[in-house]
Structures are given as structure tokens and as C-alpha cells.
Amino acid sequence: MSINYRRLFDKVEKPGRYIGKELNSVMKNTDDIDVRYVFAFPDLYEIGMSHLGMHILYGVLNNIDGVWCERVFSVATDMEERLRANNLPLFSLESRTPLHEFDFIGFTLQYELSYTNILNIMQLGKIPLRSSDRDENHPIVMMGGPCAYNPEPLADFADMILLGEGEEIMQEIMELYKKHKKANYSKKEFLLEAAKSIEGVYVPAFYTVSYNDDNTIKTVSPLHDDIPSKIKKRIIKDMDSAFYPENLLVPNIEIVHGRIMLEIFRGCTRGCRFCQAGMIYRPIREKSIEKLLELADKIFKATGYEEMSLSSLSSSDYSKLGELLDELNEKHSSNMTSISLPSLRLDNFSVEMAEKVQKVKKSGLTFAPEAGTQRLRDVINKGVTNEDLMETAHKAFSNGWNRIKLYYMIGLPTETYEDLDGIIKMGYDTLNVHKTINNGKIHPRTAITMSSACFVPKPFTPFQWMAQDDIETLRDKQRYLKDKFRTSKNISFNYHAPLTSSLEGVFARGDRRLGAVIEAAFNKGCKFDGWDEFFSYNKWTEAFDECNIDMNFYSTRKREYDEILPWDHIDCGVSKEFLIRENEKALKAETSHDCRNGCLACNINVDIARGLC
């Protein structure tokens, strides 16, 4: 189907979001293509193009013979209005093909509040929303990403959900689909074979859920004898041999993170009890320095970028970080203006390391104490102390840095107002360190930013059973902190809206019944729910009321250890027994050591064939 979309572009803001043809984008001859796949990122181009996973899977799929992967992003409201007014379907960037003409559309699930955007992309692309309403003529709707570890709120909309890392599983699925397409098998036959034969494939329609009278889950049962009752995630064992894109896409317009993204390792051994990523991305696997330097050389040449970010969950934990930074600075001093790390740890910060990272200019430093007292940091197993912060602040201020950002969470399990007072004290103590160094004076450019997010319990963490603070409690805590920093000219306090955090918590631990709520909210106009200017809490509460579902059942309710959780049929590699042990230690404010220093029996390294710590 050939449609002229060019007439839309001069009527919208930032047409560069939609025109495609970026440097290193892939064009193929459709005569040579067996499978057409469109990767869908449910947010604006500027955000999606900053996402490393999109670049990796785009390269993986386009490296497969007979497969062409294209891209689509959520369109801004002005473009949506133009599409709907002209009754035109949403299209891919590369070939401007309507979405409903593809074999697959694959959504990445990065954030719970993007779910209505997923429905909007499908509706704009003329694809029926529910899996049960799609037939052989519609694309297979695939989903994956961190939120897929509890896929149940989206179970009614997805045909297949992929668990774990995608580099290998994508190749296996494409090869199976080519075989089935050639043999003219049905969609159901393909999905059944994929669920049976490919580890990490979950087809929600092949599982049935029953409920107890108290609305908790009674059973999750497969409908076919030869599909697994528990779906295991996929793990890439060797990072050096895994695919990594050397020809990163270079965007048409400015994006959130317009730089080279060099992934240095996967996984994390710190064991923070609130952190889902630290659990689901286990085990830890590093790339070698030789491989990283080889990739950096090729990506610099292919993109023309001058900035680089070393990407991982805790980049300062890379075992040879100093050596890597020295090599990168030496080899690329003529074409690289800066290297950035996502965040630095308070307990291993060094001025030498920071100067290697911020070689050209001393921008701000960012740290995450997470909690204001040692007791609460022990509860969450953060592993840093007040002394770490004060020592780090002294080093930073003494060596020319004037801006420090400190990230905290409020609403953590067992939190009291003494813990909030600890946040306040840390802010003022940090400022006093600066004053001491400067003989009681404050440099006019000195700024300490105290930023707080609301704690959201997530699946596959030791806190997955915990109650989330209700909205009014979170608001009271935010007001308390804001008032205490109000008089300071050099300390600012930022916080995240508790309404969105509450809704995020509902879907993070929700079950299949929430699919009806998502669809009802979407039909009321909800989309871009993670954006303050678009979010409508009232529309969401109306949707919950119409579906006769209580939000608090999913957010502020404490679970018991013996309750069947919506994601219990998913295997992320970390055992429930380990999570229970860690939760019990949290309640006693007992810490666990970094598992680089000794195995804590989380279960991820029991089966060596699936990855070894």
C-alpha cells in the first residue's frame, strides 16, 4: 500500500521525528524479504532513539537474511490529529509502510505508564487491540523488555511476550517464522511451536488464570501439555561474542541522549533490595577491554559523535574501568569531547576517575544515597554511609566541582520521619562541607540538588510483597521535605508526582484483569501518562470504577509469602526463596554483601548452561 505522507510533515512540529532516512538507517529491497518487522517504541522519537535496546535489536534483526526491521515511535498529538483527520494509518519510518501490513510489530516495555501509548500505536496503525480480535491478516504483536517480567496487565493485547535478552531469541523466532510462513502454517501453529521449542517465549493465550474469592490468584495453568508451566528468561552468556551495533543510528533531530552508547557489562552484584534491574539482569557479564576499544573505534567512525556514555547498571563497578578510560582518552582525544557514566557510587568515587570522565569540563556530579539514615540504607541494602557522602563531597568541592545531585526515594519500607530528617541533614551537611573548604563562604555557582522519587514495589525484588505508601502519605512526606529546604538558596528539592507513582505501582504488580482498565482509560483519551502535561488521574480512576476494580488492591496492600503472584509463572533466574530471605533481612535492617565477594545463593548460577556469575 503506497501512501503519500509528505503532505503531513509541513503541518507538524519537528517533522524530523517522522521522515526517517537517518545516517545508518537500513533500507532493503522488499523482493528479497521474507519477514517484515517493525520495532515500536511507545514514546516520542527523542526518547526512543536514546534507548540502547532499540539500536541493538534493530541491528540484530537487520543482520538476519530475509528480515527487514523498521521503526515506529509514538507520534506527538499534532501528528496524531493529522493522521486521524485524513484517515491515514500510522507508518514505519524506513519505508512508510502502514503498520498493519507488517508480519510483526514488536513493542518494548520500558515503563508501566507507556501502556496506553501501545494501544494508541496499534489503533493508529489499524491493528485490532486485543489478540482475540486479530486474524491471519494482522501482524503478530510481540512484546519484551523489563516490564515483561510481569506481562499480565498486557496479556490480552500481546500475541507473544519475550523474556530476557533478545539477541539470540530474536534470531530463533525469525527462523521459525520463515519456515512456518513458507509452509503456510497458521498463526496459532507458529505461536504454539514457538512456545514449545524456544526458551523465553510466553504466549498469554495459552495460559488460563483462576482467582480466589478474595481476588488473589488461585492458579495459572498452561492449556497445552507440551508448553512450560514456568517460562525461563533468556541469558546471553558471552558478551564479547554477542551482537553489538557498530553503525548506530544517528538521529535527524536532537534527542535526549545524543551520543555513543557503549555497553560495558550487564547485570549488577550490589543487591539493592528495591532494584528490579539488579535482579532481572543477573548474572553479571563484562565485555573485555579489547572488545570495547574495537567497538569504540568503529562507532566513532560510523557516527561522527563526539561524546560517549559507558552504559551499565553500575558503570563504576566495571573491573577495569580506570584502564578503559585511559585507553579511550588516549585513542580518541582528538575526536571525543567527553565520556559520561550514568551515575557514580559514593563508596568508590575517586577524583582521578571523575576527571577522566569529565576531562574537558567539570559538570555536576550525581550520586544516589537513596535514604537519609544508615538504618534505612541497611534495610534497602544500599551499602553506603554518611561518611562516604561527606568524604566524596569534600573531594569534589576541593577539586573544583560546585554542583552535586543527590537522589533519594521516599516511601521505602519501614521509613519514618527520622529517615526524612536524615535526608535534610545530608543536604545541609553537604553544603557545610563546601563552606568549610571555602572558609565559611559559598561559591555563587554552588548548587546541591536533592531529588526524590516515590518508591514503587516491583516484581522479582525482595520488596515485591510490601505495601506501597498511599498518595496522601507520599504528599505529606514531600511537603515536609520541601518545607525544610525552602529557606536555602543553594539547596533545591525536586520530587516526583505521587499520582503517577501510585498508578505505576498498580500496573507493576497487576494481573490480567487490568487489561480492561488500560483499554477503558485509553478510550477516555489517556496516553503519554508518564508526561505531567498529559496525565489525567481522574480519567484513570473513572476507568477503574467502570471496571469495578480497586486500585488499592494492587498498590497499598501487603502480600503474604504464600500468595500466588501474577508473575509467579515467570522465571527470572532468581529464586523466591532468596527474595524471601532478603526481605526478612531487610525487616531486621541486616545487609548482604556484594555477591562478587561470595555467592549468596540467589539461584542464578545453579544452572551453568544458562549463565554463571
The range of the structural domain enclosing residue 110 comes to 5-232
Q: What is the pLDDT of residues 520-552, one digit of tens each?
A: 999 999 999 999 999 999 999 999 999 999 999
In a domain, 215, yes or no: yes
What CATH number does the domain containing 249 carry? 3.30.750.210
Domains held by the chain: number: 2
Give the mean pLDDT of 398-413.
Answer: 94
- pLDDT at residue 385, as a whole number: 94
User: Do 59 and 176 belong together in one domain?
Assistant: yes
In a domain, 599, yes or no: no
In a domain, 251, yes or no: yes
User: Do 23 and 40 belong together in one domain?
Assistant: yes
User: Do 197 and 324 belong together in one domain?
Assistant: no
C-alpha span between 280 and 571 (Å, rounded):
9
Give the mean pLDDT of 108-132.
Answer: 99
- pLDDT at residue 444, as a whole number: 86
In a domain, 485, yes or no: no
- pLDDT at residue 346, as a whole number: 82
In a domain, 84, yes or no: yes
Q: Residue 2: pLDDT band by 50, 70, 90 thresholds?
A: low
User: Do 174 and 248 belong together in one domain?
Assistant: no
User: Do 245 and 210 belong together in one domain?
Assistant: no
Q: Residue 339: pLDDT band by 50, 70, 90 thresholds?
A: confident
C-alpha span between 486 and 193 (Å, rounded):
61
**Statement: residue 62 has pLDDT above 60:** yes
3-class secondary-structure state, position 475: helix
User: Do 169 and 226 belong together in one domain?
Assistant: yes
Q: Give the angle 527-50-202 at the CA atoms, nearest 5°.
A: 65
In a domain, 171, yes or no: yes
User: Do 53 and 145 belong together in one domain?
Assistant: yes
Burial classification of residue 115, based on how many CB atoms lie within 10 Å of its CB (0-12 exposed, 13-18 middle, 19 or more buried): buried
**Statement: residue 359 has pLDDT above 70:** no
Sheet with 67-73, edge to edge strand ranges: 67-73, 35-41, 104-108, 140-144, 160-162, 201-202
* Percent residues over pLDDT 90 in the chain: 86
* Percent residues over pLDDT 70 in the chain: 97
Asked if 512 contacts 153 with a C-beta cutoff of 8 angstroms, the reply is yes
User: Do 175 and 262 belong together in one domain?
Assistant: no
Q: Are strands 285-286 and 265-266 parallel, antiparallel or unpaired?
A: antiparallel
Which residue, 342, 361, 380, sits at the end of a domain?
361
Q: How many CB atoms lie within 10 A of CB 215?
A: 13
Which residue, 232, 255, 270, sits at the end of a domain?
232
Q: State which amino acid sits at residue 434.
A: H
User: Do 166 and 243 belong together in one domain?
Assistant: no
Which residue, 326, 361, 396, sits at the end of a domain?
361
User: Do 302 and 157 belong together in one domain?
Assistant: no
User: Do 198 and 246 belong together in one domain?
Assistant: no
In a domain, 517, yes or no: no
Helix or strand run (H / E) with residue 344: none
Q: What is the pLDDT of residues 187-239, one digit of tens each?
A: 999 999 999 999 999 999 999 999 999 999 999 999 999 999 999 999 999 99
User: Do 222 and 240 belong together in one domain?
Assistant: no
In a domain, 584, yes or no: no
pLDDT averaged over every residue in the chain: 94
The beta strands (E) that lie in 469-547 are given as: 491-495
